Every structure is written in C-alpha cells, then in structure tokens.
Amino acid sequence: MFWKVTDIEIKSPLNSPTVFVSTCFLAFSGVTDILSGVVDDVGQAVGRNIDGAQLLYELLSAPWLRSLLKIYECLLQFQRLSPSPFLPYASGLSHEVHILHINTHSTSTQAGMEEALLSTHDSVAQSDYEPVLPPLPDDLPDDEEAMRIVCLVKNNQPLGATIRRNEETGEIYIARVIHGGLADRSGLLHSGDLLVEVNGNPVGGLEPEEVIQILTNSHGTILFKVIPNPGQVYMKAMVDYCPLQDASIPCPDAGMAFSRGDLLEVVDQSDAHWWQARKLPCAASCAGLIPSASMLKSKQKEQWWRQPLQRFAHDLINSISWFLSAGFRRSFRLWRRTSYRKRRQSCTTCSPNSNALNTPYEEVALYQRPPQENHRLIILVGAPGVGVNELRKRLIKLNPSTFQSPVPHTTRPIRPGEQSGTEYHFVTKELFEYMVCNHRFVEYGESKGQLYGTSTDAIDEVLRRGRMCIIDIEPHGIQFLRTKKLKPFVIFVKAPSPERLRQTRRDARIITNFTINRAFTDDFVELEEASQLMEAKYRQFFDSVLVNDDLQDACIQLCSIIQQAQNEPQWIPVSWGRTE
C-alpha cells in the first residue's frame, strides 16, 4: 500500500504510436542483465568442456535468481493495480514498523497484529469523516453579520450576566459577564454582544425586565442567538469635551479630552455612562474615560438650557459668520448673497435639536470606493475670498475630462450664444419654485431679481457620466449632501497667515456687496479670522484641510487629496456603508 508505480512515456524507435510502460520494465531490464551474465558464464563453462547441464541446473536453481524473478512478478502486479500512498509520510511509517519489527524480534502473532494494525490504518485513512454541510445560499449579503448560537443548560445557579438596552435602537446587549459565573465559564457570551433571540423569542425592542422574564420561564436548555461584540468601535467626535470641566466624571485624571472631528477608537462600551477610548492616530496605549453617547447628549441638553448666554453667543457667531460670508462672494456665486437656505439655516442651527446635539459621536468605518461605483462627491468649502472658486476652476481647466462642476439652474433669460444645459439650465420661475418646494436644490438664491441654484440632479448627472463632481458651497449646506449615495468628501480650503495673504494676493480681485471687482486691501486679517471661525464651527465635517498659500502648490495638493479620496480607504459614517 505504500508504493506508487510511476508511468513514464517512451517513444518506439520505429515511429509507431506512443506506448506507455511502467518502471517495472526498468526493474526487469536489471534481471535480464543478470540472466545474460549467467548465460555468458554457462557459455564459457561449455567452452571449457565442463559438464554444462549440471552447471546450468545449479545456476538456474540458485535462490537469488528465484528471488529476482519473484520481484519481477510483484512489480508486474503493482503495474496492474496502480497503488498510490494514502499518506505522504507512509514510507516513514513503514520504516518505523520495520524497525519495531526488528527490535521486538516479533513472533508470528505480533506480526499478525501489526498487519491488522496497518490494514485498520488503511481502511480508516480511506474513509471520509468530514460532516456534510449544506451549501451556503448564493444570495447571502457580503456584510451579513456572523451570528453565534449559544446553548447553556440552566441549573440552580444564576446565569452570571447582566443586560442593558440601547435606548435609541431598542437593542438588548450583554452588559456584564460575572467572573466565574455560568456565562463566563461557557466562554461564549461576552459584554457588548448583541442579544438577538432567547429560546426562539426575538428580544429586540423588549424591556430588559421582559427579557429576564423569558429567561426565568425557560427550563433546561436555553438557546441564545447573539451577534458577537466586534471589539473596537470607531467614532468621530461631533462635539468638544474636556474632562477637567466635567464635575460628573468619576476620575478626571483618567478622562480624555477631545475636539470635534477627532477620531476615537472606543475600546469599551460596557458601562452605560462612561466608555473607554483612544484617540487616533494613537500613540497612547492606555485608553481614557469619555462620556457615553447618551450621557453626553443629556449633559449637552442640560447645559444648553441652563446657559442662555451661551445660546446667545452661538446666535452671535452664526450671524457674524453669515455677515462675513455675505461680504466677499465673486460673480459665480453672486446669487448666494441673499441665500434663503443660509438664512433659514442660521435660525435652525440655534435650536437645541441641531444635529450636533443629536449625535455627539458618529460611528465611522474605513471605506474604499470600489472601482465600479460612482466617484465620491468632492465638496470645497472656505471663507469667502480664500480662493475656493479659483482652485475649483483651475482643477477643471487642468483636466476637463476628469473633473466637472454641476450645471446651475437659473430663471434669467437665455442670452445669444448660450445653450440650456451648458452654462445654465434655463428654467421658468414656476419650475424653479417647484424644485425648491421639492428640496431639489443644494443651495439657491437671488441676484438682480433672478433665481440661481445648484440642484442635486445636476450633481447626479456629472457622477453618472463617470466624472468627478466638484462643488463649492457654504459649509451649512454640507449636512444636506451627507448621504449614502453621494458619500461626499469635504475639503476645507484654509487661509494662510495675513502676511502670506498679503504676499500672494497682490494681483487678486474680490467682489463685495458694495464694490465690484476691487483689489484686496486690508481684508487679510478679516479673511483669516473668518477662516478660523469657519474651521472652528464646522471642522467635524471636514475630511481634509488644504492651506491655499501658493496657488500652484495648492492646486497640486488638491489633486493629490482628491486622488486619495477616490482611491484610498477613508473614514465614513457606518450608515453610508450599510446595505438596506
């Protein structure tokens, strides 16, 4: 059973069809050599007048010749059966058995046992003991979460685990696993695991008391279906937090401060009030305490209503930034000076229900755009006059087959030489207003009695054509575009220092509400302040920051940022990656 006869191919010398012979014949050619030697010997003996018949008889009946002929017969038999080894180490095994045999001077009984052992080995090796599993369904979603089924036998001991309910989603989680308890000893339930079913009863949306009731009523075996805790969760901070200013933190020294836009690796969420997290890219191996999402939200609400002054300051910042941004816009974005959305936004952002209060943390995951998917929408934002429009225009001019901006809509009459869909989509006032009512505009506004706006349909159109869509908008418009479909990548164009502005903007022109196309004069400090204000207020939405110092350098940097955004893994909200 430990041999394999290898077939080799040879060609007959007479160009006859290819024939296959086995290595047995090679072995046989050795035997024939010996036999021919024997015949030679006999021939010489005959020549010396010796009794040849006698000698020939003795030679042919020699034991070694018989042994050689037996080997030949065996090889022929192997050729017919074509045996192959069951184990790659079979020759080693046979050697071991051989040594054992020699060392133990085995009797015929022992030899019989060894033979039986080897034949048992062969029959076991030939059998297939793998469990036969049904094939996986073809339509299984790629991101299907792995479910673990845990079976515990209930005795008079408690389960040794506590549960908690996520008040936002109604999901039930394992809160703690008591050391040495039944759940702990099973090694199958861990804190943070999502409990899906208990004995076939779905528990999502139930109150913890109702789940406990199901457990109490269960006897014998209890079957849990859980989605295991994925371990780390990554969150983007949407608010600022300082533990030294928080009287409720159990240990301020163990707390971790963070700012809006920071990426946090949350390593422990087992406590309902205090999580443990590290800031990324992380240098510190030790995690710090941060308030849980629900804790932070209730803190914010409390603080908000307790401090009317802060609300007033917030309103003031909004109106200052509105005032600053209303001052400088160039011709392309002239209509924004009286943007309706902006006015409405500056009111709604003062409300305690603003998004920042609703989601103090945004769960994020790394995402890489698959090549067959639309490009991500590229949004440029920056303080008025910083050069957002200039950068966008240069980028498109450099590579018009790759980059494109959406064609805006307007109610102004079409001029000679213009084509609808090229410079603008020329529409009636009624259609424009209908589109406004149906939330089709990212931004819209009025200039010299005419309406102008950028629609989401125009953005879709650019992306559908396989181009990269670049838009520059007011920062409060970002929220409107943060959708799973567009997966926007936001680049903040930041102002350099006033000194650098003065050096680089010598030939620059600006347009304000009052003066058209005037040179930059003493606006640099104001521009830098407006840039800082904008960054402080919206940085949680920025994916990248680009300082617009030297124009050519800024253009090169912008190209490389966009390439990375489209082709390399980036953090995005997990909700953008989920399949419905």
Chain residues binding ligand ATP by CB under 6 A are: 328-330, 333, 382, 384-390, 504-505, 508-510, 548, 551, 554
DSSP secondary-structure letter at 291?
Answer: E
End-to-end distance of the chain based on CA atoms, in angstroms?
Answer: 57
Separation of alpha carbons 578 and 483, rounded Å: 12
Provide the 3-class DSSP secondary structure of residue 411: coil
**3-state class percentages of the chain: helix first, strand second, coil last, to nearest 5:** 40, 20, 35
DSSP state string for 156-188: SS---EEEEE-TTT--EEEEEE-TTSHHHHHT-
Q: Note whether 578 and 377 are within 8 A (CB).
A: no
What number of other Cβ atoms are within 10 A of residue 374's Cβ?
Answer: 18
Provide the 3-class DSSP secondary structure of residue 87: coil
Q: How far is CA 123 from CA 1, 93, 331, 559, in A?
A: 11, 16, 87, 67
Q: Note whether 386 and 494 are within 8 A (CB).
A: yes
Separation of alpha carbons 236 and 259, rounded Å: 10
Burial class (CB in 10 A: 0-12, 13-18, 19+), 68: middle
| CA angle (300, 301, 307) in 5-degree steps | 85
Burial class (CB in 10 A: 0-12, 13-18, 19+), 275: buried
Which residues are within 8 A (CB) of 46 and not within 5 positions of it... i.e. 6 or more apart? 52
Tokens matching residue 452:
């102008």
The torsion angles phi and psi of 196, rounded to 5 degrees, stand at -100, -45
Separation of alpha carbons 26 and 12, rounded Å: 15
Tokens matching residue 578:
């989920």
Q: Note whether 346 and 318 are within 8 A (CB).
A: yes
Separation of alpha carbons 177 and 164, rounded Å: 12
Write out 31-81 in H/E/C secondary structure.
HHHHHHHHHHHHHHHHHCCCCHHHHHHHHHCCHHHHHHHHHHHHHHHHHHH
DSSP state string for 256-281: --B-TT-EEEEEE--SSSEEEEEEES
Alpha-carbon dihedral sign for residues 213, 217, 219, 221: negative
